[in-house]
């Protein structure tokens, strides 16, 4: 396979620049495509603050990004095709291989570490990457692959909350598209309002939703009522179905003849800030 000039390709392909959101979205896509069930995104900010303006959110300088998942990792086959860009093989698996180049555009150092069942794979990813640069050590361990971006090229003041919210938005979209392809997926939905505070669901809480589960009496569900999504507890009694709020100021939603109810998914976990 003929190699391309990655430095020139990156400069041409990313003329508009690369953001932290672009990099993290690419890493999340790869982790989900690799079958990762547990994925973490660690954002390391400097202790010093950037310029602050009265009435605006605190900004901090992003120093390092680390993405870890428990997917299949850098197996021999994956390593064989890792270096490909815009080949027929990449087309067949639904990509071009250019997304990961965002890592090189955004950071001066990209460290890859992949623990397979009986082998540890490590290498530094750079425009001059060659398969011979990969270091393999025979050691047993639990599956875990991490990509760490260090020495970021642009020391940009970042609005932390907005960046995290953007990442959540991207993750929901990626998981939705994967689900549309017929793959099992868990979705994340951000709650709004106070109708479920009795169940511990506060404004802004992140709900983990499983669309593969069958909704049963007593489950907290994401329901579609007259075209609108709502979070409520499902009640099934004597052949009747109601959606119950966990706040006494809200009346139950009862379904009349001809009114349609759709269960979008079952809430399995709640993630929210404690402070």
- The secondary structure of the chain in percent helix, strand, coil, rounded to multiples of 5, reads 25, 35, 40
Q: Looking at the domain assignment, is residue 103 inside a domain?
A: yes
Which CATH number goes with the domain that contains 259? 2.10.109.10
Give Rg (Cα) of the chain.
23
The rounded distance, in Å, linking the Cα atoms of 232 and 199 is: 10
Q: Looking at the domain assignment, is residue 119 inside a domain?
A: yes
The catalytic residues are 195, 232
Same domain, 92 and 132: yes
**Mean of pLDDT values over 225-239:** 83
Instruction: Categorize the per-residue pLDDT at 113 as very low, low, confident or very high, splitting at 50, 70 and 90.
Output: very high
Q: Looking at the domain assignment, is residue 166 inside a domain?
A: no
**Beta-strand runs (E) in the chain:** 39-49, 59-69, 107-115, 120-125, 135-137, 144-152, 157-159, 186-190, 206-210, 220-225, 228-237, 240-244, 253-254, 261-271
Residue 24 is predicted with a pLDDT of 85
The rounded distance, in Å, linking the Cα atoms of 124 and 260 is: 55
Q: Looking at the domain assignment, is residue 254 inside a domain?
A: yes
The rounded distance, in Å, linking the Cα atoms of 192 and 202 is: 8
Instruction: Categorize the per-residue pLDDT at 50 as very low, low, confident or very high, splitting at 50, 70 and 90.
Output: very low
Instruction: Categorize the per-residue pLDDT at 119 as very low, low, confident or very high, splitting at 50, 70 and 90.
Output: very high
The rounded distance, in Å, linking the Cα atoms of 180 and 198 is: 33
Same domain, 16 and 135: yes
Do 151 and 107 touch, CB atoms closer than 8 A?
Answer: yes
Which CATH number goes with the domain that contains 122? 3.30.565
The H or E element that residue 166 is part of is helix 160-180
Same domain, 222 and 154: no
- Name the more confident of 190 and 97: 190
Tokens describing residue 164: 């995290």
Q: Looking at the domain assignment, is residue 50 inside a domain?
A: yes
Same domain, 61 and 136: yes
State the DSSP code for 57.
-
Question: Is residue 32's pLDDT more than 90?
Answer: no
Q: List pLDDT tens digits, range 140-169.
A: 999 999 999 998 876 655 566 676 677 777
Q: List pLDDT tens digits, range 168-224.
A: 776 666 666 565 555 455 677 778 888 999 988 888 788 878 877 888 899 999 888
Question: What's the pTM?
Answer: 0.56
Q: Looking at the domain assignment, is residue 232 inside a domain?
A: yes
CA angle 99/101/105 to nearest 5° reads 125
Residue 120 is predicted with a pLDDT of 95
Same domain, 130 and 201: no
For residue 247, what are the domain limits? 186-271
Same domain, 152 and 192: no
- Name the more confident of 118 and 4: 118
Q: How many domains does the chain have?
A: 2
Out of 59-63, 199-203, 264-268, pick the least confident: 59-63
Which of helix, strand or coil describes residue 78? helix
């Amino acid at each position: 396979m003929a190699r391309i000039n990655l430095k020139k390709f990156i400069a041409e392909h990313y003329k508009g620049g690369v953001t932290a959101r672009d990099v993290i979205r690419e890493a999340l896509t790869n982790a989900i495509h690799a079958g990762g069930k547990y994925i973490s995104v660690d954002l390391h900010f400097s202790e010093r603050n950037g310029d602050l303006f009265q009435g605006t959110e605190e900004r901090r300088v992003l120093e390092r990004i680390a993405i870890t998942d428990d997917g299949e990792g850098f197996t021999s086959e994956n390593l064989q095709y890792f270096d490909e860009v815009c080949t027929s093989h990449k087309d067949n698996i639904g990509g071009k291989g250019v997304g990961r180049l965002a890592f090189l555009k955004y950071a001066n150092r990209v460290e890859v570490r992949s623990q397979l069942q009986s082998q540890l794979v490590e290498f530094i990813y750079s425009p001059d990457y060659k398969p011979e640069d990969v270091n393999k050590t025979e050691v047993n361990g639990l599956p875990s692959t991490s990509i760490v971006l260090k020495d970021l090229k642009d020391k940009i003041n970042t609005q932390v909350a907005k960046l995290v919210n953007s990442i959540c938005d991207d993750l929901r979209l990626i998981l939705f598209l994967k689900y549309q392809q017929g793959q099992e997926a868990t979705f994340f939905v951000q709650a709004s309002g106070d109708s479920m505070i009795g169940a511990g669901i506060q404004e802004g809480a992140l709900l983990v939703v499983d669309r593969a589960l069958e909704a049963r009496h007593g489950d907290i569900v994401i329901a579609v009522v007259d075209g609108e999504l709502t979070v409520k507890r499902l009640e099934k009694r004597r052949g009747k179905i109601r959606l119950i709020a966990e706040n006494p100021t809200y009346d139950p939603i009862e379904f009349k003849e001809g009114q349609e109810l759709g269960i979008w998914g079952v809430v399995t976990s709640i993630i929210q800030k404690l402070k």
